[in-house]
Structures are given as structure tokens and as C-alpha cells.
Chain A
Amino acid sequence: MIEDAAFYIFAGVSLFSAIAVVLSKNIVRAAVGLLGTLGGVACLYFLADANLLGVIQLIVYAGGTLILIVFGIMLTSQSPWVGFLPTKVQAIAASIVAVILTIGIVRLVTLVPWAQRNPDELSQSLTVKSIGDALLTTYLVPFEVASVLLLVVMIGAAYLARTEK
């Protein structure tokens, strides 16, 4: 019961923060809204017993990425992007697409008989240890590929960010 209530509260928080991000004209407020969304989603992870994922969400997104974005905004606040607003046509078109997508997704989610999992087994499979094991066995290949990806991308990013001599 209390879990249900918590779910709706956190879901509400992330949803309203997300709306605030979209509607806010001040870009700093939008960033704060983003924090609410990311935090709310992290709380939803905790509720679903995915503790590690929740922590990662907080550290990487709420902690790292968001701070980077805020810094980026503050350092470049002179740029024309601050005042960027969509035109009416764009806004209408985007709303139509969004509404259609929402209806579609809601229908999809409610129609499909999603698989139910046994909560006990689930919580066991979501421990840090089991995830760590999985990363080094079942998911070893994706793990390694991701590291190659990061290496290559890091070099690309370093090149693009480097000032010209």
C-alpha cells in the first residue's frame, strides 16, 4: 500500500519536473527541473529494488551529467541559445506528435500482458554481486565492446575539444 503511494508520488515528481523542463523559459530553471526528473526516476528504481541502478542514476545523471549541463549553461549563457524558443508551428507539430505517441505508448503498455516476475528471485538477481558476475560472464562481450567504444569516443572528444595550435 505504502509502496503504491510512494510510486505515485515519485512518478508524479518526475513527470511534473519533466513538464517544467519543457515549459520553462529560463534555462537554469529547466536544469533544476531536470534534477527533479532524474531524482524521481532514481527513486523509482529504488522502489523496484534496483538499488545499484538507482545509485548509478544518481551519481552519473543527477550528479555528473546534470552538473556538467549546468556548468555548460553558466559558462555559455551569453550565447543565443538561452533565449531559444520554438515557433508556434513547431510547438503545435511537436504537441501533436507527443500526444499521438503518448496515446500509443499508453495503449501499448496497458494492452500487452507483460510478464510478471517473482519478486524474491528478482531481488536476488539485482544485487551488486550478481550484476558484477553477469558483467564478467554473460555480458562480458558487451562490456568489452563498451570499453573500446569509450576509448575511441574519448579520443574523438579530446581531439574536438583541443584548441588549435
Chain B
Amino acid sequence: MPQSMLASMWMPSAEELSQLAPLFALVATIVALLLAAMFTNRNRNVAASIVTLGAIGTGLLAWKRLQSGAPSWAGFDPNGMGPMLISDTFSQFFIVLACVFMLVVTAMWWLGQKSDLPDSEVHRMDATEFFVLFVGSAFGMSLMVSTTNLLMIILAVEMASLPSYGITAFRKKNRVAAEASMKYVLFGAITSAIMIYGASLLYGYYQTLDLATIGMKIAADMQAGATTGTLFLSVAVFAFMVGIAFKVSAVPFHFWCPDVFQGASIEVTTWLSVASKAAGLGLMLRVLSVIICAPSAFPVEAFKYVSLAIAIMAALTCTVGNLAAYRQMNLKRLLAYSSIAHAGYMLMAVAILWSPTDAGIGAAHPAFSAIVSYIIVYLLMNAGAFFVVAMVYWSTGSESITAMNGLIRRSPMLAVCMAIILFSLVGMPPLGGFMAKFYLLMAVWKGGLYWLVVIAVLNTLISLYYYARIVRAMILTDDGLPEISAPMSGQLIVAMCTIGIILTGVLLGPMKEIANNNASNLYAVVKSDVAPRTASAAGPSAATPNTENADTAPTIP
């Protein structure tokens, strides 16, 4: 085989490449940004237009695939070692979400231009760099949901993280931003290191980078009655999850989050608050779907510990997030803690997914679907909330809670929308936030982690107080601040988010349907993708190395 290597040089076919059109579109956007900067003298409007077009184009390509019901595709697999990239309903769904959110953030950037605050200044001057980093992180996040290969996952996480560090520090003269970015980098580096360590353990033992194959080998091991793997597997999997936990800002990997949210400009904060978390959760689901669901319904001892660890992490995450939010006066910081808390709720369903008990396996499908629902609603809520904060900020230059005082008089539209959004964040029916949380709690309950449900509802109660503080400032307090000159288009976006929140609450059927479809599709992918390889992987025990598969693999650098 080695002699004829070059002769049998593998090339991806056009058909294979066309499956990845959305990803190519994002890279093309980056290239177009750089080229346009050269020819238009770094014109910021051109840059923003390119990003807008790129996001729309990518979104449409992904939407087309989503709509056409194209069969899931997993490819770039020249030597039968498992696919490098995957394009299926699940990944396309997340790419569409990312594109929608890119448009929201770009709109925010555009509207922010009109204010004469110092950070708008920075964004005006260096729009090209800003957008390159921005689209770069979007590309990374899209990759995160499009792969099940350990190496690709690590690269995708880095692709999402490194540009994020850059845009966090984008306001170079701002000390808070610099400090935030520094913390972000340090935390990111350490958690990445742990993640890579976990990945190398998995690779070292199972001799493959493909998570689906690893899942099959775990199953084979278990069927063969091997138990030595318990400690190893729980440590390796948990270490691997640390990198993702960092992305979703789970406690104790959350310390970067409040500082970064406060230090970064509001566009960046909005972007990170939703996209980074959604991508992290998407990746978690992806990883889970191949490791857990592939070998269906087998009680892997190790996953009990992983599940417990994640459950504890989830409980801590939402409790710490909610308690820390109490004292915050800075709106962005408060919303940062709120986003930590919401990540905690979503992690609860992740804990169910890892749970190897009968109840846990029975609840896997609802849990998948609940997380997807939650992400949809969470996107709407955070986009709306940050947009309101942004408009108040542009008009007053302040991010403090007191800047919201008397908003009901200064801009009734914004105040009413914000109140609805905040109560949805609390989880008050009949708003979308409640429905999403309800699905989540249903799944967790079905999975048998009753104590987590109790913690979640107690947290709902705790969270009420600090969300209500903003409501109080907006509606019950008035110290005569001048009226807000909110741009019409911004108000429109906020109104759309609010209507979306109400609709997801009242017409809960469609959202649940989408979420269910996504969850089912993820299962379908796993089954169709993994089934053919089941036989080969399950044959020889994983302890005996599969040298044929491993021989072309270079050591992980």
C-alpha cells in the first residue's frame, strides 16, 4: 500500500464538495472581505455588506439543504477512517441559526455606527479586521457542529475561540477589554489543553480519531465484559468535555464569561452570548449522539460518573450564575451571569443524555429535542435583550442598570418588549422561555434526575429577583432621564424577537416539532452512518490494536 500512495492520491469529488457549500460560503466571505478591503480602501460599509450577503448566502445554502431533506452526508473519508465532516439536518440547522444571528449582530454593528461612542469609533476604523475575526469565529462554530472527528473538533473549537479572543480585545485602548481578553485567552488555552489531553487519551486507547468508531469500540468492550476502562473512560471523556464546557461557560470554567461580556463591545457580547454557547451545546449533542446513541442501550459504567459530573456541573452552573447575578449593576455583566445560568439549565439535559440508566436512555430523545428548543428560544431572548441594552447604551453611554430607569416613559416600546423578554428569561408562561424550560424539565424528570428538576425550579425562583430588578428600574422607577432615540430598525428587531418569544410560547407545537425532527435526524444519522461499521468495529476487541486503520495516522502534534 505505501508504494502506490501517490498514484492513488485521493481527491474529493465535486459532489462531495457541494455538500459543504455553506462552509465554503463562510470561507469565501472571509476572502471577499480581505480582497474588498484592498480595492475599496477599507470601506466599512462594503465590509458590512459583504458580511450581510455572506450570512444570507450561507444561511440560504444551509436552509436549502435543510428543506430539501437531503440525506445526511458524511464525507472526506479516503481511507475508511471515519468522516472528517458531516452535513446533515442537525449541522445545517445550527448553521442557519448562526447565520440568522450573524445578521442580528451585523445589524447591531450597523446601527451602532450612528452613535458617537468610542467603541463605535474603533469598529468604524477597522471594520475589515473586525468582520474577518467575526466571520472566522462563525466558521469555527459551524465546524463545531459539523464533525465527529477528534482532530477536527479540536481545530473547530480553536477556530471558534481564537478569533473570539481577538474581537474581545478589539477596543485596544480599553483596559477592561484587554483584561477580559487576557482572561479569555488563559482560560481558553488551559481548557483546550485539557480537552486535547482527553482526546489524546481516547485516541491512544482506541487508535482512532473517529468518535463513532470509538463508540462502537466502547460497546464492543462492554459486550466483551471489559471493566478496566471505567476510570480511564470517565476521565478521558470528562477531560474532553472540559473544552466544550468552557465554550458554554459551565462552572467552574465560567470565570471568563462575566469579564468578557462586560469588557467586549456589545456586538461581540451579543455574538458570544448566544453563538458560542449554541455551538458548544451543538458539539456536545454531536459527540453524545455518536458515543452514546451508537451502541444503543448498553449500561456503560463510566458514563454514570460522566453523567453525575455533568449533572453536578449543571446544578452548580445555574446556581452560581443566578446567585452571582444578584449584585450586578452592569447590565452586560448581569446578562452574562444570566447566560451562565441558562447554560446550566441546558447542561441538565446533557447530563440526562450521558446517563446510562434505563430512564436516561428513554429520555434521550426528549432531552435532545429540549436542548434544541431551548437554543431557539434562548437565541430570541438574548438577541432581544442585548439589542435593548445596546440601544439604551448608544443613547445614554451607560451600561448600568440605572440607565434603564423610567424606560417605560422614555421608550414604551422598548420597555414593554424588554419586560416580556426578561419574564421569558425567568421562565414565566405563556412565553417561550417557559415552554423551553418546561420541555427541558420534562426530559430531566423522565431521565430520573429529580433533584436536578428541584434545583432548576428553585433557580427559577432565585432568578426572578434580579430580572425583576431590571423591570423595576424600567417601569417602577423614574428619575427623569431624557427620552431614548432608538432607531426604528432596531426597535423592529426587538419587536420581532418579542413576538417570536410569545409565539414560541403560545404556538408551542411547531417549535417542538422542529426540535423533535432535529433530534430524530440526529438519531437517524447515527444509525445510518454507524451501522455499516458496527460489524468491523465490534469484531476484534478494542484492546487489540487495529493496525490497518492506524498505520497512516501520524502522531497528534
Q: Say if the beta carbon of B201 comes within 8 Å of chain A.
A: yes
Interface membership of chain A positions 129-144, coded 1 if the CB is closer than 8 angstroms to chain B and 0 otherwise: 1110110111111100
Q: Say if the beta carbon of A148 comes within 8 Å of chain B.
A: yes
Complex interface: chain B residues within 8 A of A117 (CB): 545, 547, 550
Closest to B206 in A: A115
The answer to whether residues A160 and B557 also contact, given A104-B235, A137-B78, A148-B159 and a CB cut-off of 8 A, is no
The answer to whether residues A133 and B228 also contact, given A115-B207, A141-B76, A164-B173 and a CB cut-off of 8 A, is no
**Which of B12, B76, B169, B552 interacts with A134 by CB under 8 Å?**
B552
Q: Say if the beta carbon of B41 comes within 8 Å of chain A.
A: no
- B163 and A153 form a contact (CB under 8 A): yes
The complex places the Cα of A133 from the Cα of B10 at a distance, in Å, of 10
**Which of B143, B165, B232, B547 interacts with A108 by CB under 8 Å?**
B232
The complex places the Cα of A141 from the Cα of B6 at a distance, in Å, of 18
Q: Say if the beta carbon of A113 comes within 8 Å of chain B.
A: yes
CB distance from A147 to the nearest CB of B (A): 10
| Interface-located stretch among A2-10, A67-75, A87-95, A118-126 | A118-126
**Which of B9, B132, B169, B555 interacts with A136 by CB under 8 Å?**
B9
Q: Say if the beta carbon of A103 comes within 8 Å of chain B.
A: no
Complex interface: chain B residues within 8 A of A125 (CB): 550-554
Further pairs besides A111-B228, A138-B553, A151-B30: 20, Cβ < 8 Å:
A108-B201, A108-B232, A112-B229, A114-B204, A115-B543, A130-B5, A133-B552, A134-B553, A139-B554, A141-B85, A142-B151, A145-B143, A145-B156, A152-B132, A153-B163, A155-B129, A156-B162, A158-B129, A159-B133, A160-B166
Closest to A161 in B: B172
Complex interface: chain A residues within 8 A of B27 (CB): 148
- A115 and B162 form a contact (CB under 8 A): no
Closest to A48 in B: B555
The complex places the Cα of A114 from the Cα of B133 at a distance, in Å, of 41
Q: How many residues of A contact B (CB 8 A)?
A: 45
Complex interface: chain A residues within 8 A of B129 (CB): 155-156, 158-159
- A133 and B5 form a contact (CB under 8 A): yes
Complex interface: chain A residues within 8 A of B34 (CB): 155
Complex interface: chain B residues within 8 A of A136 (CB): 9
Q: How many residues of B contact A (CB 8 A)?
A: 59
Complex interface: chain A residues within 8 A of B10 (CB): 137, 140
Complex interface: chain A residues within 8 A of B172 (CB): 160, 164
- B78 and A138 form a contact (CB under 8 A): yes
CB distance from A112 to the nearest CB of B (A): 5
Closest to B546 in A: A115
A-B CB contact pairs (8 Å), 15 listed? A112-B228, A113-B543, A117-B550, A126-B554, A126-B555, A130-B2, A137-B10, A138-B79, A139-B151, A139-B554, A142-B84, A146-B155, A148-B30, A155-B129, A156-B133
Closest to B169 in A: A160
Closest to A53 in B: B555
Complex interface: chain B residues within 8 A of A112 (CB): 205, 228-229, 232
CB distance from B186 to the nearest CB of A (A): 14
- B163 and A156 form a contact (CB under 8 A): yes
- A115 and B158 form a contact (CB under 8 A): no
Complex interface: chain B residues within 8 A of A121 (CB): 547, 551
CB distance from B93 to the nearest CB of A (A): 21
- Docked complex: B5-58 residues within 8 A CB-CB of A: 5-6, 9-10, 12, 27, 30, 34
CB distance from A113 to the nearest CB of B (A): 5
Interface membership of chain B positions 103-138, coded 1 if the CB is closer than 8 angstroms to chain A and 0 otherwise: 000000000000000000000001001001100100
Q: Say if the beta carbon of A22 comes within 8 Å of chain B.
A: no
Q: Say if the beta carbon of A1 comes within 8 Å of chain B.
A: no
Q: Say if the beta carbon of A56 comes within 8 Å of chain B.
A: yes
Max chain B C-beta neighbours (<10 A), residue from A53, A129, A139, A152: A152
Interface membership of chain B positions 529-550, coded 1 if the CB is closer than 8 angstroms to chain A and 0 otherwise: 0000000000000011101001
Chain B interface residues (CB < 8 Å from chain A): 2, 5-6, 9-10, 12, 27, 30, 34, 76, 78-79, 81, 84-85, 126, 129, 132-133, 136, 139-140, 143, 149, 151-152, 155-156, 158-159, 162-163, 165-167, 169-170, 172-173, 201, 204-205, 207, 228-229, 231-232, 235, 543-545, 547, 550-555, 557
Closest to A154 in B: B132
Closest to A155 in B: B132
Q: Say if the beta carbon of A149 comes within 8 Å of chain B.
A: yes
CB distance from A125 to the nearest CB of B (A): 5
Complex interface: chain A residues within 8 A of B84 (CB): 139-142
- A131 and B545 form a contact (CB under 8 A): no
The complex places the Cα of A137 from the Cα of B27 at a distance, in Å, of 21
Complex interface: chain B residues within 8 A of A56 (CB): 557
Complex interface: chain B residues within 8 A of A141 (CB): 76, 84-85, 152
- A152 and B2 form a contact (CB under 8 A): no
Closest to B143 in A: A145
The complex places the Cα of A138 from the Cα of B163 at a distance, in Å, of 26
Closest to A50 in B: B555
Complex interface: chain A residues within 8 A of B9 (CB): 133, 136-137
The complex places the Cα of A113 from the Cα of B541 at a distance, in Å, of 12
The complex places the Cα of A117 from the Cα of B172 at a distance, in Å, of 51
The complex places the Cα of A111 from the Cα of B132 at a distance, in Å, of 47
Complex interface: chain A residues within 8 A of B547 (CB): 117-118, 121
Max chain A C-beta neighbours (<10 A), residue from B155, B158, B173, B557: B155
The answer to whether residues A107 and B231 also contact, given A115-B545, A134-B553 and a CB cut-off of 8 A, is yes
- A155 and B553 form a contact (CB under 8 A): no
Complex interface: chain B residues within 8 A of A146 (CB): 155
Closest to A118 in B: B547
CB distance from B2 to the nearest CB of A (A): 6
Q: Say if the beta carbon of A116 comes within 8 Å of chain B.
A: yes
Complex interface: chain A residues within 8 A of B204 (CB): 114-115
The complex places the Cα of A98 from the Cα of B139 at a distance, in Å, of 36
- B552 and A148 form a contact (CB under 8 A): no
CB distance from A76 to the nearest CB of B (A): 15
